[in-house]
Structure 1
Amino acid sequence: MGDGRAANKTQPTDQPVEDFVAGVEPPRRQDEARRVVALLTEATGTAPVMWGTSIIGWGTYTYRYASGREGEWMKVGFSPRKAQLSFYGLQDTDSQRQVLDGLGPHTTGVGCVYVKRLEQVDEAVLSELARLGIARGDYDAAES
């Protein structure tokens, strides 16, 4: 891309979200995935889109590095991994970080919130985190 944007490896695709969710294993994780997709779709007010082969995303934003590199990424994302549910865009703003402790059992990584079982978290807090995430604008990012 000649405009200062470097393409991310993970890009939006045309794969139907429903097809992806129908193939999630084990069955318990598939049920959780269906519930999360419905919950995040309602919370964000936007339709889900597959990003790559295993991430479901809602909304997009542009990030910019001081070097001039720019890219686009989902505002809120989710991936039903075997070991845990991975959420993206739920801890990126001050308002989200203030709410995150109320979610229930979870761990965090760089840009991700991990949950082992959906029934252990407060779905109202999950919805609020998604609402706050979808409301974010573009931003300047730190290079890593």
Structure 2
Amino acid sequence: MNIRQQIENYIIAQPEPKRNDMQGLHERILQILPSCKLWFLDGKNEQGKLVSNSNIGYGSYLIKYADGTTKEFYRIGISANTTGISVYIMGISDKNYLPQTYGKRIGKATVTGYCIKFKALKEINIEILEDAIQYGIQPGF
């Protein structure tokens, strides 16, 4: 099964109304990043044990570890969680940027150094979320 099929199956498997929100968010991100690399992580480690929620990823960047090694990873990610949806903006060095810039303006969401978590799209300002995603895809932030 290819990545697009895995993403489609993951979204379809979500209960409503989360399914509709995930599909809408996926489509919006693809509008922002039309030719980006797509990722699907099933949340399992090398031994097949479930260690995290599944994630859909968009774009890519190199994670640089302290020992000098690197790993390619997605830049923007979305994931269904028990209470709603998480949007991940990876690679931001200033962990105060997202909460300070978007936290008070986005609506009913929890904003951390790299994650914006909300129950439903109708509870947030989608334009502010799109601004955060646009910020997250800029190289060298």
Paired-residue identity, % = 21
Cα distance, 1:104 vs. partner? Answer: 1.4
Look up the SS of the partner of 1:103 in the other structure: coil
Cα RMSD, aligned residues only: 2.6
Cα distance, 1:20 vs. partner? Answer: 1.7
Structure 1: gaps spanning 5 or more residues: 1-12, 140-144
Q: 2-side partners of 1:123 and 1:99: how far apart?
A: 15
Per-residue deviation, residues 95-140 of structure 1 (Å, max 9, x unmatched):
9535312211211346322111211111111111111112234x8x
Q: 2-side partners of 1:131 and 1:44: how far apart?
A: 9
What's the TM-score once normalised by structure 1's chain length? 0.73
Partner of 2:81: 81
Partner of 1:108: 111
**8 A contact 1:99–1:125 mirrored in 2:** no
**8 A contact 1:37–1:48 mirrored in 2:** no
Cα distance, 1:34 vs. partner? Answer: 0.7
Structure 2: gaps spanning 5 or more residues: 43-53
Aligned residues: 125
Greater relative CO (CA pairs within 8 A, separation 6+)? 1
What's the TM-score once normalised by structure 2's chain length? 0.74
Instruction: Report whether the alignment pairs 1:41 with 2:30.
Output: yes
